[in-house]
Amino acid sequence: MDIVSVKTEPYSDQTFGTSGLRKKTAVFRQKHYLENIVQSVFDSLNGFEGKTLVIGGDGRFFNDEAVQTLIRLAIANQFGRIIVGQNGLLSTPATSHIITKYNAFGGFILSASHNPGGRDGDFGIKFDTASGAPAPVALTTLFSERAKVIDRFWTIDLPDFDLSLLGERAVGHSIVQVVDPVADYAAYMRDIFDFPAIKKMLAGGFKMIFDAMNAATGPYARHIFEEALGAPAGSVIHGTPQPDFGGLHPDPNLIYAKHLADMMYADDAPDFAAASDGDGDRYMILGKNFFVNPSDSLAVLTEHLHAIPFYRGKINGVARSFATSPAVDAVAAAHKIPVYETPVGWKFFGSLLDAGKITLCGEESFGAGSSHLREKDGLWAVLAWLNIMAATQKTPEELTRELWRKYGRVYALAHNYESLNAEAANKLMMDLNAELDTLPGRQIGGLTIRQAFNFSYADPASGETAADQGICLVFDGQKRAVIRLSGTGSVGATLRFYFNGLSGKRLNDTPQAFLSDIVAAVGTLTRIAEQTGRDAPTTIT
């Protein structure tokens, strides 16, 4: 086996965003595009020779080819062991778990997460460090900087590896080990949750449905829900990962998983439904005729986490992104644990978890996770709900309404304007930033702005800082808006407007009705329609 050094030219657009490098698949398929970024990651890191690297992906189009490329570069760069999921598949949380379980140096996840896949869809790559957490900003900045000047990468001259067979194969000084993607993760879930209690609930006629959206979690969900917990065959739908996700947009929300919501709002709805995204780190929870908003879900999980054996007596604190509604704050106060408010993106939770400051964390974008691993974890969140339901004998609606009665209801909505002209989106943010100082005290459509600031963060554990994360507008009457540019899109710019408001009394409004005044006020203030040429958001979640 020969190690070869290949000359290459840098690309100017290899910048890591909220969650890795994400582009159109066609961009990733350009000559040496993937090699450049992978070698840039290696060039930015030290001391991995002889160590273990984990590689997996969510099975989207180009996954097969990309995994082979990564294995070749890892061998040429002197990794001692390369652990790959069978057929190149690993969900994001399973990758994170395998990294820590096998003391790996780190791992790559090939995924554009909840973005559509296929030849004309999106592709992406993320790097997790030895703790199993997404690489922090300090590292991703190095990766992007290196990619701007890279002029060679190392690879080997060998044909494709057969990734269908489990087991090890020696290649030069390295070992390529193909592992069952599901086994370790499923065993870990058994350690965390009260499987007998969930099993008993399912055996007692409780009906659930899990929609894997033809993406990464299918094999995990079949194993956990149908085989280990005894849910009837067919409880997992869209359970086979497909390169184009069978035409589904693997983003578990009421828009892209409308088929699931329709089932749950029908007369013969099962008791519980859940879904996950492309790489298995997002989740959605539905009860009969009931949708659980992810910010409320984090609050319910915090309220009842002690019902789950793994966490009993060990709940230190909770974190949420600043775009996530503060529903969890009142729960945390009642439980006498701190709440940390972070920028958007999972990479900010890692150091808080490592420092033992928090046990639980979540985002409004259908993400939740805990101290059990350092990525967000969709199936974990679903199992947490099942465990809590089994322990309390309550439905998702009962658990959520109980929370609202006790702490008040925080209505939450996100308006997403996708694929905007990047200049127009940047201008909107710049105009607003320029105006910030003049906003407190200003009245718009009957609402008064109390505070206006650009969110910046100093990590209480690592000291790392992050400025310019988005604009926060706090209105009188416990209403709040956050406006920020997305860092996961692949075309133009995406603006996200998050709205939330607390009511102790009005528990039965729709978020649209309760928040209509602040939506209108922010629309007027930002002149969104005029500035972007759009009269409505692309999606409302």
Which of the stretches 225-233, 359-367, 437-445, 460-468 binds ligand VG1 when contact is defined by CB under 6 A? Answer: 359-367
Active site residue 516: no
Closest contact distance (angstroms) between CB of 19 and Co ion is 7
Packed helices 195-203 and 378-392: angle between N→C axes, nearest 10 degrees: 70
> Residues in the site for Co ion, rule: CB under 5 A?
113, 277, 279, 281-282
Q: Which is nearer to ligand VG1, 295 or 365 (CB)?
A: 365
Q: Which is nearer to ligand VG1, 32 or 347 (CB)?
A: 347
Task: Please report whether residue 320 would count as binding ligand VG1 according to CB under 6 A.
Answer: no
Task: Please report whether residue 19 would count as binding ligand VG1 according to CB under 6 A.
Answer: yes
- Binder of ligand VG1 out of 33, 346, 407, 417 (CB under 6 A): 346
Closest contact distance (angstroms) between CB of 113 and ligand VG1 is 3
- Binder of ligand VG1 out of 18, 95, 100, 387 (CB under 6 A): 18
Closest contact distance (angstroms) between CB of 294 and ligand VG1 is 9
Burial 13-37 (b: 16+ CB within 10 A, else e): ebebbbbbbbbbbebbbeebbbbbb
Task: Please report whether residue 69 would count as binding ligand VG1 according to CB under 6 A.
Answer: no
Closest contact distance (angstroms) between CB of 538 and ligand VG1 is 12
Considering the candidates 113, 325, 365, 371, report the single residue annotated as catalytic.
113
Which of the stretches 254-262, 390-398, 400-408, 484-492 binds ligand VG1 when contact is defined by CB under 6 A? Answer: 484-492
Tell me the pairing of strands 272-276 and 290-292. Answer: unpaired
Which of the stretches 7-15, 143-151, 163-171, 360-368 binds ligand VG1 when contact is defined by CB under 6 A? Answer: 360-368
Which of the stretches 34-42, 156-164, 234-242, 338-346 binds ligand VG1 when contact is defined by CB under 6 A? Answer: 338-346
358 within 8 A of 371, measured Cβ to Cβ: yes
Which of the stretches 207-215, 238-246, 259-267, 274-282 binds ligand VG1 when contact is defined by CB under 6 A? Answer: 274-282
Q: How many CB atoms lie within 10 A of CB 68?
A: 18
User: In the range 205-234, which residues lie near ligand VG1 by CB under 6 A?
Assistant: none
Give the distance, in angstroms, between the CA of residue 212 and the centroid of all CA atoms in the same chain.
Answer: 15
Distances, alpha carbon 187 to alpha carbons 86, 128, 192, 195, in Å: 17, 21, 9, 11
**3-state SS, residue 307:** helix
User: In the range 113-142, which residues lie near ligand VG1 by CB under 6 A?
Assistant: 113-114
297 within 8 A of 285, measured Cβ to Cβ: yes
Helices (H) and strands (E) in the chain, counts: 18, 27
Rounded Cα distance between 459 and 370, Å, is 18
Q: Which is nearer to Co ion, 181 or 511 (CB)?
A: 181
Token pair listed for 314: 């060990």
Largest separation between any pair of C-alpha atoms in the chain: 72
The residue number with the shortest CB distance to Co ion is: 113
- Pick what 488 binds: Co ion, ligand VG1, none; C-beta below 5 to 8 Å, kind-dependent: ligand VG1
Closest contact distance (angstroms) between CB of 249 and Co ion is 12
- DSSP notation for 451-499: EEEE--EE-TTT--EE----EEEEETTTEEEEEEE-SS-SSSEEEEEEE
Closest contact distance (angstroms) between CB of 145 and Co ion is 26
Rounded Cα distance between 537 and 134, Å, is 30
- Binder of ligand VG1 out of 38, 213, 331, 344 (CB under 6 A): 344
Alpha-carbon torsion 463, 346, 42, 97, what sign? positive
- Which helix (H) or strand (E) is 189 found in, with range? helix 183-192
Closest contact distance (angstroms) between CB of 206 and Co ion is 27
Binding site for ligand VG1 (CB under 6 A): 18-19, 113-114, 277, 281-282, 321, 344-346, 363, 365, 367, 486-488, 496
The residues annotated with a catalytic role in the active site are 113
